[in-house]
């Protein structure tokens, strides 16, 4: 069974995380330096197998007072479908310093079934939200 902790990734973890994110639909081509900087400025959750190998990663951007944006929840092929991603998210949701936040948000193209059981739902008033979006920040279009 996976051990999940909120911790910063090790140097070797960053190589694995970078490889997984580069292959993802939301950050193809992301530079390793960007992954490292994003992790350094976020709260990270790491899932490890019984041998200590990284089998899942999630990143949370938060002020720890009112808002959290869940991003980069990723589990490598072969470890998907056994609850690792959901447990990573649950670790954030249960964290004592993150209780009573007014809003948690995330974006997903295809994992609604992972997040809905944890309480995430479609935005009730999407017309209130706005964004500036760069569809190809790393030279690969993510539309």
Residue 45 is part of a domain; what is its CATH number? 3.40.630.30
CA triple 95-75-22, angle to 5 deg: 115
| Chain segment 54-108, per-residue pLDDT in tens | 999 999 999 999 999 999 999 999 999 999 999 999 999 999 999 999 999 999 9
137 is a domain residue: no
pLDDT > 90 fraction of the chain, expressed in percent and rounded:
85
Q: How many domains does the chain have?
A: 1
Confidence of residue 137 (pLDDT cuts 50, 70, 90): confident
Residue 30 above 80 pLDDT?
yes
Residue span of the structural domain in which 39 resides:
3-128
9 is a domain residue: yes
The pTM (predicted TM-score) of the whole model is 0.90
33 is a domain residue: yes
């Amino acid at each position: 069974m996976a051990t999940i902790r909120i911790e910063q990734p090790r140097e070797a973890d960053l190589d694995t995380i970078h490889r997984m994110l580069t292959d993802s639909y939301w950050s193809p081509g992301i530079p390793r330096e960007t992954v490292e900087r994003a992790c350094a400025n976020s709260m990270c959750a790491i899932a490890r197998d019984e041998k200590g190998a990284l089998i899942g990663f999630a990143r949370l951007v938060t002020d720890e007072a009112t808002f959290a944006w869940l991003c980069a929840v990723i589990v490598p092929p072969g470890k998907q479908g056994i609850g690792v991603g959901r447990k990573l998210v649950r670790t954030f949701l249960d964290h004592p310093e993150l209780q009573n936040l007014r809003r948690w948000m995330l974006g997903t193209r295809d994992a609604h079934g992972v997040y809905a059981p944890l309480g995430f739902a479609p935005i009730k008033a999407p017309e209130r939200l706005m964004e500036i979006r760069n569809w190809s920040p790393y030279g690969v279009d993510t539309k």
